[in-house]
């Protein structure tokens, strides 16, 4: 065998010169000859000047280089890679979000074991399309640093073993009633478990109450919510029911509602929606005809409608204009079997009358699916009120609170607090110490829903599941598991639930179960939920509300709801769809009243409730608010250590709700006084009218039927050859798109303005929350916003001062606004460093790394969709509430595919370029072209009404191409077409079905 080939360092090694041998062991033989004597030079032993300079230079360079090194951050790789977890590849798990009626069957996108996005579950029959903004935002609740990390005994940190031991021993000796208080539970297994848990006690009651109750509706309909199907209705009458925003089950309702609202030239028909309401709700904003009525007029109105429709009783006077009333009655009668009346009142008499109206209209079996009622609200006001009295009487031995916070959100909150002191054992499952848990002996924090197994039945025959997508972050325990432990069962809730499901399984259970968990839904008609239907039937007798002073109504804000997720910075910063206000509640005052009181927006009003308590809130002039009334959102006014985000925001308006005849009414008379203080309201939009500009277009159905080609106004430029389309006159060369050309169509008819797209975009694209002060500075960062315009009051042409004022009962139009990805983008030409440029697929790209932050692009954007990072929003204590970027737990929610932008750079909608790239790569891997629907932007994906369609305009088979081909010259328009920016986002004119 030959020796290894030897390579010499040089001729010296070959020769093996002594000089070489001397230095052979040195890796760098030629040292800087500092302090070395060589030859005859510098025999004095001193360093030579040149060497000194060399050394000096080297050490300077070395020191400065060493200081440049970035700190090392250790990342620990998987030692044993979990199955199915590929770093960089997302997994989706089916689950369910349910909170106070807001039901969404969802897919949870996880990356490396972290849930990072909520997406709709297309397998669901109820909510296949989009999600509510709350569902999107609920993700942040998982990473909320203020959740309890351990159980508490008397407010002190405790161990689960101690908690269990103590609770078990105290339950064994409990005397008096054991009550389990919860908000509506739609989980069949949980309900069964609670009943089983209670069966051990002699006197047990599961009391369900809702912070925003539908008790009267349930009472009038035998304990369930009628199976409304808005998609079958030609005429929809809503009475104080915000069914697209907050009432009962808004996401399924929105999906149904919009089915009859989409029009094209082949099918130019749509439902007509009348809305009678006190405050301008999201639903009212979408109505074709909207009439403001006072709460005290509601009863008379429903009676009049009832009498007119059924032909019984005298036709009584009603608050609504006689002409509108006649039109409603005429439309309803002409559409028997195709009409639906819904009412949000919590007065059993009114609800009974509404039921009678629907019966008379033949709605049952047509627009109301009697076989499939909704279960999303089951609260029983009377039972809760009774329990509160029992607690005060001292006859309650133990009480459990699950998703229930009556010390805050019940009209008798003070009685709840006093009653709690007389209860021997108080256990709360709250995830943090809130108003009720403060009084609890034990706080045994429940898991977040993304850490839990559960099942749901929001509507009879529609079952869904939730599954843990992350192992519990804190030492919390699911409520159901706690109950199992305390009732000495050896099983856990997962097994319990599986067992419960065996009754509905067919075939091999494991296969059935796996499929159910995989799909997340089971919709073969089986029903598992038991609801109590033993409610007393309500009579149609109507209680007269005596108008007392200013009538106030309490309402749910679309993003905040009843206040459970109040500590969520995303939801706080999501503007109210109608008022566009963020961060806090306010008194919505109609213009006339404000003028009478000499109040301007932002003036603080003192609101004194019927119980003589008072709060102070700023006034917001709300067009559409019925005169003589005000509206205040619930959920605010928290002062808890565990809710730092919400602390100091707004005031608690729950005292508006009053108890009368064992029912909770969400309206009462209040006294308003002007104070000298002012408090600004952080709105994302402060100019409310369209100023007679054609940036958003609408027309009537009648005109559309007449000639669909005349409903949209197209701008034409005057040339010597006659009027020309702006795009045909251009200084610029057009781009040539060889492969893809991404585009978006937004149907203004379908957009209900709910804000899901905004929320979804925020989550997907790591958009920072900037806080109230910065929203007031007009610096919110939302890439996707919904512009809301009120119609102006009557004015002369060009009377600009007049047209700034919205009408008192305006018609409302929503326009989702995002980067228009202009083909001739004004931003692209002005950037001095070419940080924003056009992609070869039509996307206007923003290169954060290159941006120096001159903001010229934002100034030159006619759509004002560019957002600048005024401060560092990440790792900055000043923005601590921006939890997604300022604490290690919150940061887990960030989408790893999207950069967190640094201070001083511009950002904007990217058309979810990360999704586009992923879709293309997946297709490439499978050696095919991306198919239509493979790539969906976050906004389009989350829209519950499919108002947004994204796709490749190069592909003639794509949905977007087909829509554009069909709507060209009819409803398709570009905003500000005359600027020749040639956007890739196209809007479809809104059509109203005016009476």
Piece of 42-50, 114-122, 429-437, 795-803 that binds other proteins (CB under 8 A): 795-803
Piece of 223-231, 342-350, 505-513, 822-830 that binds other proteins (CB under 8 A): 822-830
Write the secondary structure of 886-945 as one string of H (helix), E (strand) and C (coil). HCCCHHHHCCCCCCCCCCCCEECCCCCHHHHHHHHHHHHHCCCCCCCCCCCCHHHHHCCC
* Listed residue (214, 249, 216) closest to 230, CA to CA: 249
Find the shortest distance in angstroms from Cβ 905 to other proteins.
6
Piece of 105-113, 410-418, 780-788, 987-995 that binds other proteins (CB under 8 A): 780-788
Find the shortest distance in angstroms from Cβ 512 to other proteins.
51
Q: Which is nearer to other proteins, 25 or 798 (CB)?
A: 798
Rounded Cα gap, residues 478 and 462, in angstroms: 24
Q: Is 906 in the site for other proteins (CB under 8 A)?
A: yes
613 burial type by CB count under 10 A (0-12 exposed, 13-18 middle, 19+ buried): exposed
Q: Which is nearer to other proteins, 385 or 831 (CB)?
A: 831
Find the shortest distance in angstroms from Cβ 968 to other proteins.
24
Q: How many residues bind other proteins (CB under 8 A)?
A: 60
Q: Is 600 in the site for other proteins (CB under 8 A)?
A: no
Find the shortest distance in angstroms from Cβ 864 to other proteins.
4
Q: Is 659 in the site for other proteins (CB under 8 A)?
A: no
Find the shortest distance in angstroms from Cβ 904 to other proteins.
3
Residue 419, token pair as written in the block = 């009653």
Strand runs (DSSP E) across 174-283, as ranges? 177-182, 204-208, 235-239, 272-277
Q: Which is nearer to other proteins, 600 or 833 (CB)?
A: 833
Find the shortest distance in angstroms from Cβ 827 to other proteins.
10
Find the shortest distance in angstroms from Cβ 528 to other proteins.
47
Residues 964-983 that bind other proteins (CB under 8 A): 975-976, 979, 981
Which ranges constitute the DSSP H helices of 557-671? 569-573, 591-597
Q: Which is nearer to other proteins, 114 or 855 (CB)?
A: 855
Strands 235-239 and 272-277, bridge-based pairing: parallel
Q: Is 787 in the site for other proteins (CB under 8 A)?
A: yes
Q: What angle do CA 306, 311, 317 make, to 5 degrees?
A: 55
Find the shortest distance in angstroms from Cβ 738 to other proteins.
23
Rounded Cα gap, residues 874 and 884, in angstroms: 8
Q: Which is nearer to other proteins, 548 or 729 (CB)?
A: 729
Rounded to an integer, what is the distance from CA 495 to the centroid of its chain?
32
Which ranges constitute the DSSP H helices of 173-273? 188-198, 215-220, 250-259
Binding residue for other proteins (CB under 8 A) from 620, 817, 885, 913?
817
Residue 777 and residue 795 in contact, taking contact as beta carbons nearer than 8 Å: no
Q: Which is nearer to other proteins, 203 or 685 (CB)?
A: 685
Residue 219 and residue 532 in contact, taking contact as beta carbons nearer than 8 Å: no
Find the shortest distance in angstroms from Cβ 800 to other proteins.
6
Q: Is 869 in the site for other proteins (CB under 8 A)?
A: yes
Residue 591, token pair as written in the block = 């213009």
Rg (CA), the chain: 33
Piece of 58-66, 240-248, 434-442, 823-831 that binds other proteins (CB under 8 A): 823-831
Q: Which is nearer to other proteins, 709 or 903 (CB)?
A: 903
Residue 794 and residue 677 in contact, taking contact as beta carbons nearer than 8 Å: no
Residue 68, token pair as written in the block = 């440049």
Piece of 142-150, 284-292, 308-316, 796-804 that binds other proteins (CB under 8 A): 796-804
Q: Which is nearer to other proteins, 684 or 941 (CB)?
A: 684
User: Under DSSP, is residue 855 helix (H, G, I), strand (E, B) or coil?
Assistant: coil
Find the shortest distance in angstroms from Cβ 261 to other proteins.
23
Residue 486 and residue 161 in contact, taking contact as beta carbons nearer than 8 Å: no
Binding residue for other proteins (CB under 8 A) from 114, 904, 923, 929?
904
Transcribe 931-991 into DSSP letters: PTTTS--HHHHH-TT--EEEEETT-TTSHHHHHHHHHTTTTEE-TTGGGT---SEEEE-EE
Find the shortest distance in angstroms from Cβ 837 to other proteins.
8
Q: Which is nearer to other proteins, 243 or 789 (CB)?
A: 789
**Any residues with CB less than 8 A from the CB of 518 and at least 6 apart, and which?**
94
How many CB atoms are located within 10 Å of the residue 27 CB?
A: 5
Rounded to an integer, what is the distance from CA 489 to the centroid of its chain?
38
Find the shortest distance in angstroms from Cβ 722 to other proteins.
16
Q: Is 788 in the site for other proteins (CB under 8 A)?
A: yes
Q: Which is nearer to other proteins, 19 or 692 (CB)?
A: 692
CA distances for 227 relative to 221, 235, 260, angstroms: 10, 16, 17
Find the shortest distance in angstroms from Cβ 692 to other proteins.
8
Residues 674-713 that bind other proteins (CB under 8 A): 685-693, 695
For the chain, the residue count is 995
Q: Is 225 in the site for other proteins (CB under 8 A)?
A: no
Find the shortest distance in angstroms from Cβ 849 to other proteins.
9
The pattern of x and - marking residues 827 through 866 that bind other proteins according to CB under 8 A reads: --xxxxxx---------------xxxxxxx-xxx-xxx-x
Q: Is 795 in the site for other proteins (CB under 8 A)?
A: no
Q: Which is nearer to other proteins, 633 or 861 (CB)?
A: 861
Rounded Cα gap, residues 430 and 619, in angstroms: 33
Residues that bind other proteins (CB under 8 A): 685-693, 695, 774, 777-780, 785, 787-789, 798, 800-801, 815, 817, 826, 829-834, 850-856, 858-860, 862-864, 866-872, 902-906, 975-976, 979, 981
């Amino acid at each position: 065998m030959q020796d290894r080939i030897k390579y010499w360092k040089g001729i010296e090694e070959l020769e093996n010169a002594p000089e070489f041998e001397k230095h052979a062991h040195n890796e760098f033989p030629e040292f800087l000859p500092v302090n070395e004597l060589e030859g005859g030079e510098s025999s004095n032993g001193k360093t030579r000047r040149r060497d000194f300079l060399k050394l000096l230079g080297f050490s300077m360079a070395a020191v400065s280089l060493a200081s440049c090194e970035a700190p090392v951050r250790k990342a620990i790789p998987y030692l044993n890679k979990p199955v199915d977890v590929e770093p960089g590849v997302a997994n989706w798990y089916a689950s369910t979000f349910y909170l106070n009626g807001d039901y969404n069957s969802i897919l949870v996108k996880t990356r490396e074991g972290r849930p990072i996005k909520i997406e709709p579950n297309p397998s669901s029959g109820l909510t296949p399309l989009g999600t509510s903004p709350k569902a999107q935002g609920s993700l942040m609740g998982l990473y909320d640093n203020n959740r309890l990390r351990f159980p508490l005994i008397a407010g002190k940190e405790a161990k689960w073993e101690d908690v269990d031991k103590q609770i078990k021993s105290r339950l064994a000796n409990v005397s008096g009633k054991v009550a389990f208080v919860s908000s509506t539970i739609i989980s069949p297994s949980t309900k069964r478990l609670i009943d089983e848990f209670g069966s051990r006690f002699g006197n047990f009651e599961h009391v369900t109450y809702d912070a925003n109750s539908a008790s009267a509706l349930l009472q009038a309909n035998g304990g369930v919510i009628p199976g409304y199907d808005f998609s079958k209705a030609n005429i929809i009458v809503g009475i104080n029911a915000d069914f697209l925003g907050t009432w009962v089950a808004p996401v399924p309702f929105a999906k149904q509602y919009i089915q009859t609202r989409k029009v094209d030239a082949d099918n130019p028909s749509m439902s007509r929606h009348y809305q009678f309401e006190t405050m301008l709700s999201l639903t009212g904003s979408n109505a074709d005809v909207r009439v403001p009525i006072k709460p005290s007029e509601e009863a008379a109105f429903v009676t009049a409608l009832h009498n007119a429709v059924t032909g019984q009783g005298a036709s009584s006077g009603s608050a609504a204009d006689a002409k509108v009333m006649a039109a409603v009655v005429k439309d309803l009668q002409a559409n028997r079997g195709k009409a639906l009346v819904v009412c949000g009142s919590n007065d059993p008499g009114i609800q009974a009358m509404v039921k009678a109206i629907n019966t008379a209209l033949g709605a049952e079996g047509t627009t109301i699916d009697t076989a499939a009622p909704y279960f999303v609200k089951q609260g029983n006001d009377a039972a809760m009120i009774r329990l509160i009295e029992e607690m005060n009487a001292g006859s309650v031995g133990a009480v459990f609170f699950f998703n229930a916070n009556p010390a805050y959100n019940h009209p008798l909150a003070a009685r709840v607090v006093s009653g709690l002191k007389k209860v021997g054992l108080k256990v709360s499952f709250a995830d943090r110490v809130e108003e009720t848990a403060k009084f609890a002996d034990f706080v045994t924090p429940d898991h977040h829903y993304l850490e839990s197994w559960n099942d749901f039945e929001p509507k009879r025959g529609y079952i869904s599941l939730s599954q843990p997508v992350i192992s519990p972050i804190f030492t919390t325990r699911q409520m159901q598991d706690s109950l199992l432990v305390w009732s000495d069962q050896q099983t856990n809730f997962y097994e319990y639930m599986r067992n419960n499901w065996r009754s509905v399984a067919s075939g091999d259970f494991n296969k059935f179960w796996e499929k159910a968990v995989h799909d997340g839904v089971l919709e073969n008609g089986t029903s598992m939920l038991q609801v109590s239907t033993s409610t007393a039937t309500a009579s149609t007798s109507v209680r007269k509300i005596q108008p007392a002073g200013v009538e106030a109504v309490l309402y749910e804000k679309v993003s905040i709801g009843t206040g459970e997720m109040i500590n969520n910075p995303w939801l706080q910063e999501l503007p109210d769809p109608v008022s566009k206000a963020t961060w806090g509640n306010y008194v919505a005052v109609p213009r006339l009243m404000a003028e009478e009181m000499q109040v301007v927006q932002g003036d603080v009003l003192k609101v004194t409730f019927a119980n003589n308590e008072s709060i102070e809130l700023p006034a917001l002039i709300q067009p559409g608010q019925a005169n003589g009334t005000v509206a205040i959102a619930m959920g605010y006014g928290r002062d808890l250590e565990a809710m730092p985000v919400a602390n100091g925001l707004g005031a608690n308006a729950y005292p508006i709700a009053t108890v009368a005849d064992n029912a909770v009414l969400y309206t009462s008379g209040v006294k308003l006084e002007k104070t000298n203080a002012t408090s600004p309201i952080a709105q994302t939009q402060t100019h409310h009218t369209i100023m007679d500009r054609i940036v958003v277009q609408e027309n009537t159905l009648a005109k559309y039927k007449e000639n669909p080609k005349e409903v949209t106004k197209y701008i034409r430029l005057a040339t010597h050859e006659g009027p020309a389309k702006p795009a045909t006159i251009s200084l610029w060369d057009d781009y040539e798109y060889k492969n893809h050309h991404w585009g978006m169509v937004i149907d203004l008819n379908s957009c209900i303005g709910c804000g899901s797209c905004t929320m979804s975009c925020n989550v997907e694209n790591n958009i920072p929350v900037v806080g109230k002060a910065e929203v007031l500075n007009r610096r919110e960062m939302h890439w996707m916003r919904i512009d809301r315009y009120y119609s102006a009051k009557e004015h002369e042409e060009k009377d600009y001062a007049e047209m700034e004022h919205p009408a008192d009962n305006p018609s409302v139009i929503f326009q989702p606004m995002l980067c228009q990805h202009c083909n001739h983008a004004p931003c692209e030409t002005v950037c001095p460093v070419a940080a924003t440029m056009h992609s070869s697929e039509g996307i206007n790209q923003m290169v954060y790394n290159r941006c120096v932050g001159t903001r010229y692009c934002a100034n030159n954007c006619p759509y004002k969709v560019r957002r600048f990072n005024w401060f560092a929003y990440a790792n900055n204590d000043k923005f601590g509430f921006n939890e997604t970027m300022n604490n290690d737990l919150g940061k887990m929610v960030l989408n790893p595919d999207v950069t967190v932008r640094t201070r001083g750079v511009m950002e904007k909608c990217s058309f979810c370029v990360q999704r586009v790239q992923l879709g293309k790569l997946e297709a490439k891997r499978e050696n095919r072209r991306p198919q239509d629907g493979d790539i969906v932007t976050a906004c389009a994906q989350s829209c519950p009404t499919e108002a947004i369609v994204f796709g490749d305009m190069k592909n003639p088979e794509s949905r977007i191409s087909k829509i554009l081909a069909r709507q060209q010259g009819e409803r398709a328009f570009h905003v500000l077409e005359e600027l020749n920016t040639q956007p890739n986002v196209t809007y479809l004119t809104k059509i109203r079905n005016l009476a």
